[in-house]
Structure 1
Amino acid sequence: MEEMGIGPLVATMSRSKPDDIAIISDENSVTYRDLHLMAQSLGHELVEAGIAYQDIVGILTEHGVNHIVAQLAVVYAGGTCLPLEETLSDADIYARLAFSKARFLIVDSVNKNGLQFGGAMINVDISKHHNSNSFTTTPPGQVRLPKDTPYDFRSHVMFSSGTTGVPKGIQILGRGIARLAHDEVWDQQAVSCQRFGHINSIGFDASLVDIWVALLLGATIVVVDRRELLSPGEFAETLARRGVTTLLITSSLFSKIASFSPHAFSKMHTLMVGGELPSVEAFKIVFREGAPKQLINAYGPTECSIMSFYHVITQEDVDLGRMPFGKPVYQTEAYVLDEDGKLVTSPGSGELWLGGPGLSPGYLFNDEKTSESFITMAHPCNPKTHIRLYRTGDKIDIYDDYMCWAGRKNREVKLNGHRVQLDVVEMELMRTKLVQNVVALKHTSSISNANHLVACIVYENGQRNFDALLVEAKRRLPKYMIPELIEFEQLPLNSNGKIAHREMSELLEQRLQRRHACILAANTPGFEGLSETEKGLKQLWAQVLIAVPTEAMDRDSNFFLLGGTSLGVTALLGHIHKTFKVALRTDQVYENPLFKDQVLIIEQAQNGQKSGYVKSVTATMREDAKLFSDKIEFLFSKAPQGKDIRNVLLTGATGFIGPFLLQELLKAPEIGKIRCLVRATTDDQAFKRLLDNFKRYGHSVTESIKSRTEVVAGDFSQPMFGLETSAYSRLVDQTDVVYHLGAHVDYTQPYSSHVEANVRGTYHLLKFASDGHLKPFHYISSVSAFGPTGLMMKDGLLEEDQSLEPYLEPALQYENGYGQSQWVADEMVSRLMRRGFPAAIYRLGFILCSSTNGMGNPDDFMGRLFSDCAKIGSYPLLLNQRKEFMAVDNVAAILKAISTSDQNLRHAYHITPDVGKSIDMNELFELTKKLCGIELKCLPYAAWIEQLKTAQTNTPLRMFPLLPMLEEEVRGHKTRWELYEGMARFSNDNTVRALELAGVDASILTSVTHEALERYLEDCLEVGKE
């Protein structure tokens, strides 16, 4: 039986239960005998018209009995079904028929008129095809139907636009459909009593479950009017009245029904939800109101015959907020592979590849696309043999006891220099349980030409909660992935019940165009009774905060709490200068985030007044360093004595240096377990961030890393890292040494914006090191903690153990907020070391790339600078300035060598190139020209800034968010960057001494080689082209 084609299988089922009901619609009930005979009759017409094996037959009928009969007839006659939706335009219908070279078209009475089809057009009429032929009798001269088609017979071609919008004809084999009916998910004892709801569009592959799986199982198909989908209440009533027990629907439709009629599925046996990322909250509602016997998360691309994986959702899954993939469908082969084609083990992440009898032969008449997606390769488990697999493009996370979908590879967009996974944004917003549906997209404003990350949302149960959703988004996502949240009453769906992304983009653009026109006219809610300055500033806020309703902006509104970002500050400052003819500093926006305060400083600037007294930032920095360090209490008697193996707590493992340092520490025999504190809401999410970062920088996840590394989902900016008391206490007891590498870095934000993470965060980690037994504390700082030292001493030498206090007033007041926070954290640790605390400070130069392959972080300052200079063909003249470039792998090795010996505690170390080996900035650009073979013109700094600003209007530049910092004059007529002229040099005597004691050659203290620099520059220039 298993090797029979699906036509003969249905015919066999019809013979075994001829009087059972096969189809129920509002107008008809059709028995299996009648269905078989009607399909035979129509099939004979196709045979008489000259149908050949696997000829493609278009089917254009209404949703219902006629269509089901037509599909069965085509398969009986040995042809291939091409279902055509009535909603398609005539042009699309003709295009699909022409592309597929269809010689036959089956129509019903509703669709037969007006068509200009050059082949044979056959009318399906169940009254005409209902005859008295018996199963055993074939009229003289007629071919016996169904034809004895083989198991691998091509039964269908389904068109799917996929992600590119270009239609693809996906070939489906009968065996791919048959395997679904053989799976154990169906209760074989009760399946013949089941009623499958036929609700899916016939152009959607899910309809093959509605029709064919139901018939192969001997169940009853219940035709449901698709117009009822517009009314969840009416649809729920129909499911109950018609006794539907089994249903496959899209996630979007499921979420909609769960919100308005959550009891709709309570009487059903099996409900399968697929097509898109499901809403955990929708599943929770259904469980609460009454779940079916089996509530299934289903997954599968059309290329692998509708379904490839399924999982019966449990209450535990819902409580944990997870949607596991479950197990493969019958005979499905599935492999999660890394970028090298190797199997990914738990825990890990990779791409899903599928094989087995459900695999499609490929895309119709498209060998190139087929060869790209369907690949014959060495078997992942047995390299001596070969296997044909489909590359899904879906990313999968594997955990110890389950695996889950983690987004599409081709839904990655580049935004403001960052790679953003739109699927991840959607997934995290859905997990907040505040939204019913969401689609994330990159939107380029036709008004400002600026790029925005937008999430179009439908609130759960219509309950608007913008503030709570924004807070959750900030908690769950990196700041560059926090979207603009724009509410819609509903999201547009295509005929298959999936979100129509192209239409969504058009609706969004129309919404924003209308909003902009109303803002310019100041006739939206919230403009009443405002002064001219208030009205003007509110218009500017509304242009920057494109998702925030104007009525939500009042005099006490906070720019950042409403979603303002550093990029938004850049845009706002530009708008303010253009509208009010005043130049505000970046820190004035950060220090005055309230609407009413910004109005005040604008009016003061217009009147030539200085803003009121503000305590100097250096005074605040000095107070913070003393306050937080004095709060740390410790006892020397609590220090561990002579422990051979030490367990580590590491922060910053998801940064650039982190994975290199982690790997180096794992090489040390005295290091045991390494626990990485990662900002995330769950340990699974934290581990995924860690693994993703490893892959980003070309590291393989070895068994040693998996067995000796753990993650702790937390946030060091919060007291006790945001952990429960018991979890925090357990971590205290388990840890013997702390490495603090994590930091918030934003060159446009002031000191106050870095306090929470960099100052309070360091305090929380120092307190952790002093809680329980006293733990050595290794603080990875930066040479930025000295500030622009050229203001104090020309070509002087900065000693490692000297105090930073002398640099506060003369230099640090002109440093950016990040550098200022580094001074405070560095000074906190220094003060504690002077009190005897077991700590060490490592001040790093600029960590550029790997010494072996040149791989770096293209999104950091230098990566953006190189790519944009190449794009505009110029670089700034920076006299007597250097960058202390170091290779990241060398830095990690140095950190390990020094930190694993307690003899090196209570000292500071400069990890910079040896004196005289650093690179002058102008020499660096000349070297760039030579290594990359590009033309770069040296311009005076002010002229270069103007060129950068001018170029941004035509070509998005990655340096644009940094413009306020780059052009703001902070001392005389010089910007922060220009103040680094004549900077001092860094002594590294302590570092050299410690390396010698560890047996490490001090020549490792060298700048990046030309070979590594060349590879790094090539990567930066390539990223700049994207």
Structure 2
Amino acid sequence: MTTVAAETEPYGRSLAELFAVQVRRQPERCAVEGPELRYTYAELGALAERFARGLAAAGVGRGAVVGVLGQRGPESCAALLGVAYAGASYLPLDAALPPERLHGMLADAGAVAVVRLPEAGRLAGAAVPVLRYREVLAAGEAAGDGPFELPGPEAAAYVMFTSGTTGRPKAVAVPQRGVARLSVANGFFAPEPADRVLHAATLSFDASVLEFWPTLLNGACLVPVPSEVLLSAPELHRVVRERGITALFLTTSIFHRIAEERPETFAGLRYVLTGGEALRADAARRVLRLGRPQHLVNAYGPTEAACVATAQLVTEVPAEATGVPIGRPIADTVCRVLRADGGPAEVGEEGELHLGGGGIATGYLNNPEESARRFRTLVLDGVPQLFYRTGDFVVRRADGGLEFRGRRDDQVKVRGFRIEPEEVRRALTAHPDVTDAALLARADGTTRQLAAYVAVRPGSAPTATELRAHLAERLPAFMVPATVTVLDRLPLAPNGKVDRAALPEPARAAEPGRPGSGAESVAGTVARIWAAVLPAARAEPAEDFFAAGGSSLLAVQLVARVQQELGISDLHNYQLVTELLGEPVLGAFGAAVAELVRTAAAEPPPAPADRWRPDLSWDRPRIGTAAPRPGWRTPHHVFLTGATGFFGAYLLRELLDRTDADVHALVRARDTDHAHHRLAEAQLRYGIDRPLPAHRVRPVLGDLAKPGLGLSELEWDYQAGGADVIHHCGAEVNFLYPYEKLRAANVHGTQEIIRLAAARAVPLHHVSTVAVVHGMGAAGVREVSETTPLDHVELLSMGYTESKWVAEELVRGAARAGLPAVVHRPYELSGDTTGHTWNSAAALCEFFKVIVELRLAPELDLPLNLVPVDFAAGAVVHLATRRPAVGQTYHLTNPREAMLGDLVERLRAYGHPVRTIGYHAWVDALLDHLADRPDHPFAPFAPLFTTEAAGGGMTVEELAGTRYSPRLDRSGIERDLAGSGLVCPPVDAALLDRYLDYFHASGFLPAPLAEEAVGV
């Protein structure tokens, strides 16, 4: 006997309870009808209960995940319901997938067992028990038929996999409330007991959820059929008529095909639902005219929102419409449309759709980075709520409905123009002979071209030229595809959507004489440039770039010259540098360049989104309490890294001035004399003209990039056993290198520093950078306090900032484990407050210089948050000796910043004729300037202005602008510096003038053209 708990609100009840209601109401009605087997609701309920008992006998507890291997049918219905009755979550598995893929899905979902349906083959090598369907039923029967209490809704309804940006699918656990609100009183699909609903979707495709649960939770009959039925319009028409189907769901691509070939299939049906891609207006009009169902519904929703989030009842489609709205939110669903700056979009304004409510998953299983990127907390009516960031752009209509505009992932950039493929697709399908279309961005050598594929009506034969002319009448020239390939029909993937991977290469004429058209000529060109850049090189295939005298700056020059001579787009700059650094051998680099010229990807392939995950999952040392306890308030022994750098040099000076400690400075050097020379030279280079006291400064020969910091065991023990405080300021700073190249020094080096501090819990002061929060700005976060958790590493788009993000997280993780640690995030470290000496090799200084050289400045809302280096170093030392390290973060920022426009005004006042132009026009001028100057000091920083940030549609440098960069709260540092006498001077005209005086006096900037001010 089954016991059902009382519950008035349907979305708060378990799926098992909701199904049991139908079993009681209409036990003899048909629940599922296959070709050879049918079950009534009473029979299916009994099977589900027996199956649940069998799972319990096999050790499956409530909250567990159970794989179900096989296809839809009466048996799968019993199995899925049985899992729900057991209080577990089902994981649908397609038997057609390779075993290795299935094993990975089971592991990622944390499944405890797999149920193999009768028609499914064996699953060899599974790490969990594989239970045969009939064995589970037999075990349930043997367990008896005593009282059976249905579970509550605590467990997820199911776990389903959705595609991942890295190629690895992501596991989504969908709550039972999400399925309940999809199925009961949902506002768009209301099956009745007399309805017969087609069940044709593969179980591992979330369309099956829309077919299965609304049918069985409303007392209708589910009719499973082979998926192949959907691929033939005549066969689908026959099945609908012969099996008495009254409701069905089709993916948009299949709906388009049936609308063209057999629209009468839909005539008179109670419900025709479609979704998955943008619905074409002409297809909807054709169905309404020639095969109108009672309800035609355009549904929208991702797996993360339990399949459907919005729906539109389509009753008419205006003649001028090119698309069909996706409608309003369904029951228990909230939609928020947000602009790029995080604010709500107005009516008629485009924004990204965020979904909230009971149907939203809580994240991706075992994938915190991707979960943090796509799931975010928004405040709704004063209450924080979880929302899913869809990546889809929509427009809210005046009537409250939503219009789909396209996916963020689908946007492409061709010759500098951003194109929405959906707009081009709609224009193509407006041609009378075109039934469907798909757009791809394809590579043509090293340039990106838009390629169109069209399916045409039988008997018609429009030419590519005709179709391009059709588009030219409706679209700007840059949106007209370079190629149009005519097909009988578009290939479909197993989920019913267009299979873009199966689209053929577009036909085109050969292009003789194109630069670099042959691998041999490309390799020869690369070898010639190699020899020119490296005078000592032999230019032999096996020659190592660095062994031949190469450096990071020479790597930039080599790549720039290769790009210039072979006409390779700047989009591939970062990719080429990565290829060179990854395997710095002439033969390998020449082959990589030749391959790029031959088959250049539409955009450089993205780095794996989780490449830093192993570094965050390291074997963190135990935090000990060995004697002697560190005397951080009055330190005698300070361990310092980065002392030969700009900030480190001033930090060394402040430690000497503000404490009585001996400073043990880690230095890469041949010997102690060389190390002393490097430390002294850094002091002079950065304007500190006092000699270092040799009796207080002890160089420690080592290297951040080496295991154990390159220290001997004796030296390690001495530093670990004697340090009172550690200041970790060292890092490899290179804006061109990928994360992998910087990992050793910036990530593994930080791990070694943590190990050094761990044994005695030595306070660690880690110098980071405010750039680590730029990914949060790209994700729409508008303010970051000193206590805001760090997030969105996947949106940083630069190896250096990625490595600093990971290093900061390592320190924070150690702090949570008990290590006294502090993170300092300085903004732009500028010249000191007395001599105003800068690190003129820094990106910002070179940026100022190239503005003067070009006599052009970009229209860019870039803040000049300049923090004098001596103030920042003094603040760090003061805090390290006055405040206990308890895991806090300090924003070393200037509360009174200026903007780039303020600097331009001061340059004009000094006589530099600088004119402001649009950002992209300025980037073009910059690239032209550098093309003839591959060894220009600004060349290493050019990728900041050309590399597109992940997921944001802007360059890395634009990401630092006030439009995207979050406001940084600094209340903590203001509180803890109060009374110290340390005050950060404002970035006003007086400070900017002092810096310009230094740049002119040092010869870094050329003398102005005239003393008088220069007009705009």
User: TM-score, normalized by length of structure 1?
Assistant: 0.50
Corresponding residue for residue 412 of structure 1: 411
> Structure 1, residues 678-731: CA drift from partner, whole Å, max 9, x if none?
xxxxxxxxxxxxxxxxxx9x9xxxxxxxxxxxxxxxxxxxxxxxxxxxxxxxxx
1:849 maps to 2:850: no
- For 1:433 and 1:409, the matched residues in 2 are separated by 29
Query: Aligned-pair distance for 1:858?
Result: 4.5
- For 2:318 and 2:168, the matched residues in 1 are separated by 37
Report if aligned partners of 2:55, 2:136 keep a CA contact under 8 Å in 1: no
Give secondary structure in 2 for the equivalent of 1:419.
strand
1:148 maps to 2:151: yes
- For 1:55 and 1:126, the matched residues in 2 are separated by 19
Corresponding residue for residue 927 of structure 2: 867
> Structure 1, residues 485-529: CA drift from partner, whole Å, max 9, x if none?
11222222221111222333xx32xx64xx76xx79xxxxxxxxx
- For 2:151 and 2:90, the matched residues in 1 are separated by 17
Give secondary structure in 1 for the equivalent of 2:429.
helix
The equivalences for 1:282-297 within 5 A come to 282-297=283-298
Query: Aligned-pair distance for 1:867?
Result: 2.7
Give secondary structure in 2 for the equivalent of 1:193.
coil
Report if aligned partners of 1:240, 1:267 keep a CA contact under 8 Å in 2: no
1:67 maps to 2:67: no
1:44 maps to 2:53: yes
- For 2:392 and 2:189, the matched residues in 1 are separated by 30
> Structure 1, residues 320-378: CA drift from partner, whole Å, max 9, x if none?
33411221100111111112222212121111111000010110111111111111133
The letter of the residue matching 2:368 is D
Report if aligned partners of 1:312, 1:326 keep a CA contact under 8 Å in 2: yes
The equivalences for 1:321-336 within 5 A come to 321-336=322-337
Give secondary structure in 1 for the equivalent of 2:256.
helix
- For 1:81 and 1:160, the matched residues in 2 are separated by 15
Matching residue within 17, 38, 55 for 2:26: 17
Corresponding residue for residue 464 of structure 1: 461
Task: Call closer, same or farther: CA 1:352–1:872 in 2, change over 3 Å.
Answer: farther
- For 1:103 and 1:118, the matched residues in 2 are separated by 9
1:87 maps to 2:102: no
Corresponding residue for residue 280 of structure 2: 279
Corresponding residue for residue 448 of structure 2: 451
5+ residue gaps, structure 2, are 1-7, 519-566, 568-777, 781-854, 862-898, 902-915, 944-995, 998-1016
The letter of the residue matching 1:395 is F
User: TM-score, normalized by length of structure 2?
Assistant: 0.50
- For 1:461 and 1:333, the matched residues in 2 are separated by 43
Task: Call closer, same or farther: CA 1:317–1:28 in 2, change over 3 Å.
Answer: farther
Corresponding residue for residue 925 of structure 1: none
Report if aligned partners of 1:38, 1:130 keep a CA contact under 8 Å in 2: no
Corresponding residue for residue 199 of structure 1: 200
> Structure 1, residues 534-577: CA drift from partner, whole Å, max 9, x if none?
xx99x99xx9xxxxxxxxxxxxxxxxxxxxxxxxxxxxxx9xxx
Corresponding residue for residue 67 of structure 2: 58
Corresponding residue for residue 393 of structure 1: 391
Report if aligned partners of 2:930, 2:939 keep a CA contact under 8 Å in 1: no
- For 2:473 and 2:62, the matched residues in 1 are separated by 58
Report if aligned partners of 2:284, 2:317 keep a CA contact under 8 Å in 1: no
Query: Aligned-pair distance for 1:115?
Result: 2.4
Task: Call closer, same or farther: CA 1:130–1:278 in 2, change over 3 Å.
Answer: farther
Aligned residues: 553
Matching residue within 16, 34, 37 for 1:7: 16
- For 1:143 and 1:503, the matched residues in 2 are separated by 54
Query: Aligned-pair distance for 1:286?
Result: 1.1
The letter of the residue matching 1:224 is V
Query: Aligned-pair distance for 1:387?
Result: 1.8
> Structure 1, residues 861-911: CA drift from partner, whole Å, max 9, x if none?
x53231354366449xxxxxxxxxxxxxxxxxxxxxxxxxxxxxxxxxxxx
- For 1:269 and 1:238, the matched residues in 2 are separated by 16
The letter of the residue matching 1:396 is V
Larger deviation, residues 196-205 vs 428-437: 428-437
Give secondary structure in 2 for the equivalent of 1:43.
helix
The equivalences for 1:215-234 within 5 A come to 215-234=216-235
Query: Aligned-pair distance for 1:49?
Result: 0.7
Matching residue within 470, 473, 476 for 1:475: 473
Report if aligned partners of 2:233, 2:261 keep a CA contact under 8 Å in 1: yes
The letter of the residue matching 1:36 is G
The letter of the residue matching 1:405 is F
The letter of the residue matching 1:456 is Y
Corresponding residue for residue 100 of structure 1: 109
Corresponding residue for residue 618 of structure 2: none
Report if aligned partners of 2:66, 2:88 keep a CA contact under 8 Å in 1: yes
Corresponding residue for residue 179 of structure 1: 181
5+ residue gaps, structure 1, are 134-138, 521-535, 544-573, 575-695, 699-844, 876-928, 937-1009, 1012-1026
Query: Aligned-pair distance for 1:127?
Result: 12
Give secondary structure in 2 for the equivalent of 1:315.
coil
Give secondary structure in 1 for the equivalent of 2:263.
coil
Report if aligned partners of 1:283, 1:318 keep a CA contact under 8 Å in 2: no
The letter of the residue matching 1:183 is A
Task: Call closer, same or farther: CA 1:127–1:116 in 2, change over 3 Å.
Answer: closer
The equivalences for 1:760-799 within 5 A come to none
Query: Aligned-pair distance for 1:270?
Result: 0.7
- For 1:856 and 1:502, the matched residues in 2 are separated by 41
Report if aligned partners of 2:23, 2:45 keep a CA contact under 8 Å in 1: yes
The equivalences for 1:172-571 within 5 A come to 172-183=174-185, 185=187, 191-317=192-318, 320-379=321-380, 382=381, 384-401=382-399, 402-432=401-431, 434-445=433-444, 448-461=445-458, 463-466=460-463, 467-483=465-481, 484-504=483-503, 507-508=504-505, 512=507
Report if aligned partners of 2:280, 2:323 keep a CA contact under 8 Å in 1: no
Query: Aligned-pair distance for 1:413?
Result: 2.3
- For 1:385 and 1:162, the matched residues in 2 are separated by 31
Give secondary structure in 1 for the equivalent of 2:413.
strand
Give secondary structure in 1 for the equivalent of 2:365.
coil
Report if aligned partners of 1:43, 1:145 keep a CA contact under 8 Å in 2: no
Give secondary structure in 1 for the equivalent of 2:266.
coil
Task: Call closer, same or farther: CA 1:122–1:482 in 2, change over 3 Å.
Answer: same
Query: Aligned-pair distance for 1:182?
Result: 2.6
- For 1:935 and 1:66, the matched residues in 2 are separated by 61
The letter of the residue matching 2:235 is E
Give secondary structure in 2 for the equivalent of 1:495.
coil
Report if aligned partners of 1:75, 1:146 keep a CA contact under 8 Å in 2: no
Report if aligned partners of 1:259, 1:461 keep a CA contact under 8 Å in 2: no
Query: Aligned-pair distance for 1:87?
Result: 2.1
- For 2:51 and 2:341, the matched residues in 1 are separated by 51
Report if aligned partners of 2:189, 2:271 keep a CA contact under 8 Å in 1: no
Corresponding residue for residue 762 of structure 1: none
Task: Call closer, same or farther: CA 1:287–1:141 in 2, change over 3 Å.
Answer: closer
Query: Aligned-pair distance for 1:162?
Result: 4.6
Query: Aligned-pair distance for 1:224?
Result: 1.6
Query: Aligned-pair distance for 1:425?
Result: 2.5
- For 1:204 and 1:95, the matched residues in 2 are separated by 17
- For 1:346 and 1:277, the matched residues in 2 are separated by 21
% of aligned pairs identical? Answer: 27
Task: Call closer, same or farther: CA 1:479–1:254 in 2, change over 3 Å.
Answer: same
Task: Call closer, same or farther: CA 1:157–1:181 in 2, change over 3 Å.
Answer: same
- For 1:128 and 1:5, the matched residues in 2 are separated by 22
- For 1:156 and 1:214, the matched residues in 2 are separated by 17
Task: Call closer, same or farther: CA 1:848–1:221 in 2, change over 3 Å.
Answer: same
- For 1:478 and 1:277, the matched residues in 2 are separated by 22
Give secondary structure in 2 for the equivalent of 1:480.
helix
- For 1:464 and 1:344, the matched residues in 2 are separated by 43
Query: Aligned-pair distance for 1:181?
Result: 2.1
Report if aligned partners of 2:285, 2:317 keep a CA contact under 8 Å in 1: no
Give secondary structure in 1 for the equivalent of 2:409.
helix
Corresponding residue for residue 77 of structure 1: 86
Report if aligned partners of 1:281, 1:431 keep a CA contact under 8 Å in 2: yes
